Amino acid sequence: MTAAEERGCLRLLMHAWKAEDCGLPDNDEVLAQLSKLGRAWSRNGKSGEVLRAQFVARDGRLYNERLSRERKYQKELRAKRSNAAKPEMMPDGFASGSQTDRKIIQTQTQT
């Protein structure tokens, strides 16, 4: 892969990351534009073939398997951290644990 192709591949990966499904349209004209390779994309078909080899075609879209795995991992991590930040609710409707201990202690010491 040439330096220009590497830059083009990185640009395609960045565009794919911004897409909701982490994919790209399976369209050479659009890919040439997004990668900024322009006519080099189709010149002898080499750059286009090299970059297309980094993606898998599914349902009219192109996906990079490594990028898709990373997206899945990031979503799971974000959900896990979000859930960890939420107070756990007890059956009686009150939050449990250290989430409220500080408030209870402050209230008890002020009275």
Mean pLDDT (the chain, rounded)? 83
Q: What is residue 46's predicted lDDT score, i.e. its pLDDT?
A: 81
> Tokens 């974000």 identify what position?
78
Residue 85: predicted pLDDT: 78
pLDDT digits (tens, 9 = 90+) for 47-74: 888 899 999 999 999 999 999 999 999 9
What pLDDT shows up at residue 41?
Answer: 84
Helix axes 3-18, 28-35, angle to 10 degrees: 110
- Nearest CA-CA partner of 69 in 107, 16, 109, 28: 16
Plot region of 93 (φ>0 → left; ψ -120 to 50 → alpha; else → beta): left
pLDDT along the chain (111 residues), means of 10: 91 95 94 91 79 93 95 91 76 58 56 56
Q: Write the single-letter amino acid at 96.
A: S
User: What does residue 24 show for φ and ψ, rounded to 5 degrees?
Assistant: -125, 155
- The domain ranges of the chain are 3-63, 71-110
* Cα angle 75-77-82, degrees, rounded to a multiple of 5: 95
- What pLDDT, on the 0 to 100 scale, is given for residue 55? 95
Q: What confidence score (pLDDT) does residue 39 get? A: 86
pTM across the whole model: 0.71
